Structure 1
């Protein structure tokens, strides 16, 4: 019996190594795209990308050769390991082009930039983007675009299976219902990828129509649909003065923050659609309400006309809530009300099954349902109260998972903020940097990490802490934290 357990554990370890090796080989292939961009632009950084691709491909190929096995199924525990190590490995090797290039970054900065990219956070340590080589700019955008589709697949295929943070509520929706439309899981991934690519192309076209250069349009389209936030300019969207570009960005940030599996079901006319999903309806109503209220407040102050104020608030509110991390203006100059509003918005996030980070809309809705049910139970103690989320029944297990996630979510932010403060960061910088890292928002608050700031001035320690926090938040906390428990490693 023990022999069988050891064999199973060994096979699972080999599968983990095989999967990570395959990811690194695929990453090495993607590194060749910036090589072509650098060669066309006749800059020298093509050597950095080519050498990085060789190193990454060699390590990935070696892992695949060393872990050949007929076993292809991952155990429940091994899935936690392959998810966390997979994202960590991609981030670690994605840093190589930054470290080898003429940008002159140490590995800590390179790792921070790469992890910010693959987790679609959008925080950056690079200054002088307007003068950066096209390969580096394209690599940053590609990392975020890959990270966006990666988290969608993780949210649809892995997190519901791992029952993390109430995601089991979507297990039937993301597997059973979807597989009735598309029988094989591979087809589900392909269909979601096609929608993701189509949204990106439409976004790029809209940006070109608005006056962006094709290169800027491609880069911003990848990071907009991925709700990621990297730009080709230090001023982010503030560089572009055309309101059409800002409204296009707003629309496509929203499109990336909606569940992509629902696009497939909507187009095929099967199951729940974008128009009927309670999470989508709640998300859109919340965005519209907050944007209009803040626009009215700005207009009442006399700073802007209403339409200009609505353009600013719609873009920046959507950017923060969807965790895209773009900025069209320094909203910390809007006064205490604006600063507090944006601080609260940093916690929220988009819909589950999207590229967006944060706490997610469905969890807030579950907590709202719990509150309403508890009030009714208090008023009518002898009447059984059933909890419903749309057409689905909300079990006590799901409520417990959501409540636990929210507790860990805020506890992790406080712990990270405390760790950052230990390095001498002031209260606003430490707290907002912790929130923006775990929520994968991008900019925080204050002059250092705010929308007009940059993370380059931070010491190496806080950068590494924030990089880990980005990974922690991107993988829904418990996926990573469970591996720090003694029970996980017991046979």
Structure 2
């Protein structure tokens, strides 16, 4: 392990990261907010950290697999720890740990908040919350690969941060890959901002909500989230862009080159839309039948909440914690499933769910025909057994971590269902859940130990388990040729 080279890379990343933190600082200066001093001090800490790491680190080196894992994990940890400073120094949160929770929730696009009254926050802090979403959505490392083009072995960084079940790469050169993904991401964000302004949202709220939507984050500038506006046009635009953000951005680039039919014919995207449609109809019918909600309004509420939860965005236009049990069960399943591979959404991912079902069905057939050669096919291609094994391990680890973290949270005094809800929405990077962490409440009631557990869950979920879990293996840190 070349620790000196890793330190240099982390230093360069932190210096680039400082530039983005300067954006809310400028806003604070423009509006003469006291938070400008908090951001100024945070900028100094960020620059100092970056310069120290860069100066004492080795400029030249080989970026291997192990270095890639350490850089990605280190970058996410450093950005969260420094990103927490504006919250803590400005008084937006009572403790530094709360600031870390808010920062991790922002960068991992979870959207879980410990701030009870967001409308009382300065504009600069509100913008920082949304900006952390937007930066973390497509990936901090993916963005920095664009800004640091001379980074050797960048493919290891890319794979460590984007370890999804798809092996598709939109371009052979990793920097071009990252650049195109960010161009598409930026383009969708700009279009959404314009559309939200057209339908009546002010520019500041439009920017913040667009950042949160495209990152599938969920931080809002309003205490009651999207319900504050009660505007069909705003909800429809956000629904459309949440669906876009929950899809595969690599697929969008392929469609850009080959035509829109590339998206329509994609098996994962078809299942993704099918799950949304079926879930919406089930919940709409339940709201109409059990709660007497008028047909059109029940469909409107159901569609928004289903898309928000399925894409792990976490915006709310209604208090779904008061809905019938069948609605909650549907939403709970969607929290586990999440969006598509290659999206900014969290969760297990639709493609993994499809392959798990196909793999299970193949094993049932193999039990009947032990000598038969039964391959699992996805999108007209035979799936590598190694990938199926990796997906099965991922599913097992996801459920194991969910169970263990729920136990730890229940040990803090939370009701079992509240504990499980808090864990699944952080591990899946969803945001709001049920009970004490419902859509009309925050995570402020969770104690310090519980916050630490949920912070780890958010990071594990965003980096899809393996990138962090591999670091706890003693073998990872042993010197070994071939890494």
TM-score where L is the length of structure 2: 0.93
* Cα distance in 1 for residues equivalent to 2:258 and 2:67: 36
Q: Aligned-pair distance for 1:100? A: 1.1
Partner of 1:89: 78
Aligned pairs for 1:178-217 (under 5 A) are 178-179=170-171, 183-217=172-206
Partner of 2:467: 479
- 1:38–1:44: 8 Å Cα contact kept in structure 2? yes
State whether structure 2 residue 166 is matched by structure 1 residue 170.
Answer: yes
State whether structure 2 residue 395 is matched by structure 1 residue 399.
Answer: no
Q: Aligned-pair distance for 1:271? A: 12
Q: Secondary structure at the match of 2:73?
A: helix
Partner of 1:26: 16
- 1:38–1:134: 8 Å Cα contact kept in structure 2? yes
Question: Do the aligned partners of residues 66 and 160 (structure 1) sit closer, same or farther apart at CA in structure 2, a change above 3 Å counting?
Answer: closer
State whether structure 2 residue 427 is matched by structure 1 residue 438.
Answer: yes
For structure 1, list consecutive stretches of 5 or more residues without a partner in the other structure. 1-8
Partner of 1:452: 440
Partner of 1:237: 226
Partner of 1:6: none
For structure 2, list consecutive stretches of 5 or more residues without a partner in the other structure. 144-153
Question: Do the aligned partners of residues 157 and 233 (structure 1) sit closer, same or farther apart at CA in structure 2, a change above 3 Å counting?
Answer: farther
Question: Which segment drifts farther, 74-83 or 435-444?
Answer: 74-83
Q: Aligned-pair distance for 1:294? A: 1.3
Partner of 1:329: 318
Question: Which segment drifts farther, 19-28 or 471-480?
Answer: 19-28
* Cα distance in 2 for residues equivalent to 1:197 and 1:38: 24
- 2:110–2:429: 8 Å Cα contact kept in structure 1? yes
* Cα distance in 2 for residues equivalent to 1:345 and 1:477: 19
What per-residue deviation string (whole Å, max 9, x for no partner) do you get for residues 11-69 of structure 1? Answer: x3223212211221122111111112112222111111111011111111111111132
Question: Which segment drifts farther, 398-407 or 379-388?
Answer: 379-388
State whether structure 2 residue 250 is matched by structure 1 residue 261.
Answer: yes
* Cα distance in 1 for residues equivalent to 2:315 and 2:88: 25
State whether structure 2 residue 257 is matched by structure 1 residue 279.
Answer: no
Q: Secondary structure at the match of 2:306?
A: helix
Question: Do the aligned partners of residues 85 and 294 (structure 1) sit closer, same or farther apart at CA in structure 2, a change above 3 Å counting?
Answer: same
* Cα distance in 2 for residues equivalent to 1:309 and 1:320: 16
- 1:152–1:260: 8 Å Cα contact kept in structure 2? no
TM-score where L is the length of structure 1: 0.91
Q: Secondary structure at the match of 1:456?
A: coil
Count, aligned residues: 470
* Cα distance in 2 for residues equivalent to 1:230 and 1:282: 27
Q: Aligned-pair distance for 1:490? A: 1.9
Question: Which segment drifts farther, 360-369 or 183-192?
Answer: 183-192
State whether structure 2 residue 425 is matched by structure 1 residue 429.
Answer: no
- 1:31–1:50: 8 Å Cα contact kept in structure 2? no
Q: Aligned-pair distance for 1:149? A: 1.6
Question: Do the aligned partners of residues 234 and 380 (structure 1) sit closer, same or farther apart at CA in structure 2, a change above 3 Å counting?
Answer: same
Q: Aligned-pair distance for 1:196? A: 0.4
From 349, 355, 359, give the equivalent of 1:366: 355
RMSD over aligned Cα atoms = 2.2
- 1:120–1:228: 8 Å Cα contact kept in structure 2? yes
Partner of 1:338: 327
Question: Which segment drifts farther, 74-83 or 402-411?
Answer: 74-83
- 1:220–1:231: 8 Å Cα contact kept in structure 2? yes
Q: Aligned-pair distance for 1:164? A: 9.2
Q: Aligned-pair distance for 1:157? A: 5.2
- 2:68–2:157: 8 Å Cα contact kept in structure 1? no
Partner of 1:462: 450
Q: Aligned-pair distance for 1:380? A: 3.9
Partner of 1:37: 27
* Cα distance in 1 for residues equivalent to 2:415 and 2:93: 28
Q: Secondary structure at the match of 1:48?
A: helix
What per-residue deviation string (whole Å, max 9, x for no partner) do you get for residues 357-415 of structure 1? Answer: 00001110101111222233344444321211113321221111111100000000111
Q: Aligned-pair distance for 1:81? A: 1.2
- 2:107–2:136: 8 Å Cα contact kept in structure 1? yes
